[in-house]
Chain A
Amino acid sequence: MILGKSQSLRKGDEITGILFILPAFILLLVFVFIPMARAFYYSFTDYMLVSGSKTFVGFKNYVNLLQDSKFIASIKHTFYFAIIVIPVQSAIALGLALLVKPQYKYTGFFRTAFFVPVVISTAVAGTVFKLIYNRDFGLLNVLLGAVGIPKISFLSNADIAMNGVIILGIWKAAGFFMVVFLAGLNNVPHDLYESASVDGASKVKQFFYITLPLLKRTTAFVIIITTIDAFKLSGLVFVLTNGGPNSSTETIVYFIYKTAFEQMKMGYASAAAFILFFMILIISVFQMFFLRSKVNH
């Protein structure tokens, strides 16, 4: 491969190569690097979209953000979502993958069925669940009522509204990570299980001594992506609760959106966006470090 590549080295190819990447490279500069650099600068100014003032204020935005109770609350809500979703959703996704892994006639159907919620758009899922969660007419309360559970107002009680977001989030995303786990499971050499069965190891033992250790890399990948997705949580909240009730479901991205597009404080919102970016950056660096250090089986 490497030899083949060096063979293709011709003088005229240099220009072709540059021309081929040029459109993508211009887009990369104009719509990623330049806006990021400008926003980073604006995060040190009091840029307001309405007045147009752009006075340099140093770290003031960052200092104020860390003392802004609304921003701190949005971080707390985001963390609450993350701490529940990461273990629960990953466990469910792994469970689903184990269920659909056997190659029976009907597992293909279930694999597709479990994946369907992933294809449902955020706005559709959000509006449908809004009605499903309704206290008096919602499907969920009717079904819960049938087994004797009293009515729960999932979205109008500030103490539990985030749980409503969490249930919807897991419903929508578990199938995606099922597919990732399934790919990992299919990479585990089949003869390992065969020799374990011959040795008389039970299925449960096989799971803990063969499957889980060999899935380490896949699991790490799933957990990191789930964490990043949790930090980016926004769309579901916009549609399902609009941050309410009583601001109890305002996430970091929701806070950024409100600051930028309702209060028009672009400098302040840019600073919040960069705090979010640094959080995600730390997770990504951790990801690279963790995934590189593990040898692929």
Chain B
Amino acid sequence: MRRQVLRTIHFLLMTVIAVVCLLPIVWMVLGSMRSYEELFQYATQVSWHLLVPVNWTFQNYIDVLFDDQHPFLRYVFNTLFVASTVTVLVLLINSLAAFAFAKLRFRGSSVIFVLFMSALIIPGEVMLVPNYMLINNLGWLNSFKGLIIPSMLSVFGIFLLKQFFEEIPTEILESARLDGASWLKIYRVIVLPAAVPAMITLGIITFLGNWDAYLWPLVVINDDRKQLIQVAIANFTSMAGTEWTKVLAANTIATVPILILFFVLQRYYIQGITMSGVKG
């Protein structure tokens, strides 16, 4: 009996917290499907229609996606392009390095590894001004180059992948070596397939990080047509006379694909956090 009561309380408490976590998102999605007047008309007292639209409409989505002044679809494509390119390059460049640190012997490898790891404590926020001055000197301001190339290094990725690669038995690599396979071939045929879960983990962390990037595109890009989605969303609301239902529609467009990606791959994402946390 007492056990039953405790379990009910436990369940109710978790339900309340889940509402706190999810309500802002549910409210955002539902709010994006109602008219501007309706959103504010029902916004002053607790009722069913505080959340649920009276007249469902997709007009906000049409307005956002086909707005000539703020080509939202373009921001989505810009962001997809930058985030995907960075993710592919991060996986390639950092897995090669991680593999070398895990399995190859070369002079200075441990010293160089420490150099890499020392960069872990320099946060992006500190790098903002130094990297901006560099990108400015290189003439890469206002270009995707300026967004992509400095993001190709992931010291955390090297750290994460090295742990995975170390688990691969060296004997397998050795015998492939004796059969005359080059290291590049061993990396492609043996190591990469074995490291798929780790690559997915790093891939999703990198992609999400770039999809969510705000500060760096804010300072690098000033041509509106090259802007990325997060800066565009933030700019939407700082304009006078914010059209809130459109903002909610833009937010929903920016969020739903990410949520789906997360639900499908959450196991890998969580693993990334756990590995950096427990072993950190």
Bound-complex Cα distance A126 to B215 (A) = 14
In the bound complex, residues from chain A placing their C-beta under 8 Å from that of B129 are: 39, 256, 260, 266, 269-270, 273
- Kindly state the separation between the CA atoms of A228 and B259 in the bound complex, as whole angstroms: 27
Closest residue of A by beta carbon distance from B13 = A99
- In the complex, how many residues of chain B place their beta carbon closer than 8 angstroms to a beta carbon of chain A? 103
User: Known contacts A13-B104, A23-B96, A273-B128: does B170 contact A235 (CB below 8 Å)?
Assistant: no
Task: Tell me if B214 and A122 are in contact (CB < 8 A).
Answer: yes
In whole angstroms, how far apart are the Cα atoms of A257 and B46 in the complex? 40
What 1/0 flags go to B27-44 for Cβ under 8 Å of A? 110000000000110011
User: What does the 1/0 interface line of A133-152 toward B look like (CB < 8 Å)?
Assistant: 00011110011011000000
Contact mask for chain B residues 150-175; partner A; CB cutoff 8 A; 1 contact, 0 none: 10110100100000001001110110
Shortest beta-carbon distance from A203 to chain B in Å: 9
Q: Which residue of chain B has the shortest Cβ distance to A47 in the bound complex? A: B133
Query: If the complex has contacts A35-B130, A110-B18, A256-B128, are A23 and B270 also in contact, measured as CB distance less than 8 A?
Result: no
Chain A positions 4-35 with a Cβ under 8 Å from a chain B Cβ: 4-10, 13-18, 20-21, 23-25, 27-28, 30-35
Inter-chain contact total with CB atoms closer than 8 Å:
286
Residues of A within 8 A of B1 (CB): none
> Contact partner of B27 among A16, A139, A179, CB < 8 A?
A139
8 A Cβ contacts from B158-194 to A: 158, 166, 169-171, 173-174, 177, 182-184, 187
Q: CB-defined interface of A231-266 with B at 8 Å, one 1/0 digit per residue? A: 010110011001000000000010011001100001
Given known A-B contacts A20-B104, A119-B258, A13 and B183 have beta carbons under 8 A apart? yes
Contact B208 A119 (CB under 8 A): yes
* Cβ-defined contact, A276 with B125, below 8 A: yes
* B21 x A171 contact (CB < 8 A): yes
The yes or no answer to B64 lying at the interface (CB within 8 A) is no
On whether A127 and B11 interact (CB within 8 A), knowing A25-B97, A25-B112, A142-B45, the answer reads no
In the complex, residue of chain A having the shortest beta-carbon distance to the beta carbon of B119: A32
Taking the complex as formed, is B143 at the interface, i.e. its CB lies under 8 A from any CB of chain A? Answer: no
A36 and B122 contact, CB distance less than 8 A:
yes
Separation of A14 and B107 alpha carbons in the complex (Å): 7
Report whether B133 and A266 are in contact in the complex, using a CB–CB cutoff of 8 Å: yes
* Interface residues contributed by chain A, number (CB under 8 Å): 102
Determine the distance from Cα of A117 to Cα of B259 in the docked complex, in whole angstroms.
Answer: 10
Check: A164 CB closer than 8 A to any chain B CB.
Answer: no
CA distance A218 to B273 in the complex (A): 13
Q: Are B153 and A137 in contact (CB under 8 A)?
A: no
Q: State the CA gap A126–B230 with chains docked (Å).
A: 10
Contact across chains for A13 and B251 when beta carbons are under 8 A apart? no
Within A142-183, the residues touching B (CB, 8 Å) are 142-143, 145-146, 171, 175-176, 179-180, 183
Q: Tell whether, in the assembled complex, residue B50 and residue A142 are in contact, meaning their CB atoms are under 8 Å apart.
A: yes
A103–B31 Cα distance when bound, in Å, is 35
Q: A5-B170, A17-B106, A35-B131 are in contact. Are A117 and B21 (CB under 8 A)?
A: yes
Further pairs besides A119-B208, A221-B277, A228-B123: 10, Cβ < 8 Å: A31-B153, A33-B119, A113-B22, A124-B255, A128-B24, A128-B28, A131-B248, A221-B280, A266-B129, A284-B121
13 A-B pairs with CB atoms under 8 Å apart are A4-B170, A8-B173, A24-B97, A25-B97, A115-B270, A122-B212, A123-B212, A139-B27, A139-B43, A179-B274, A184-B277, A232-B123, A280-B123
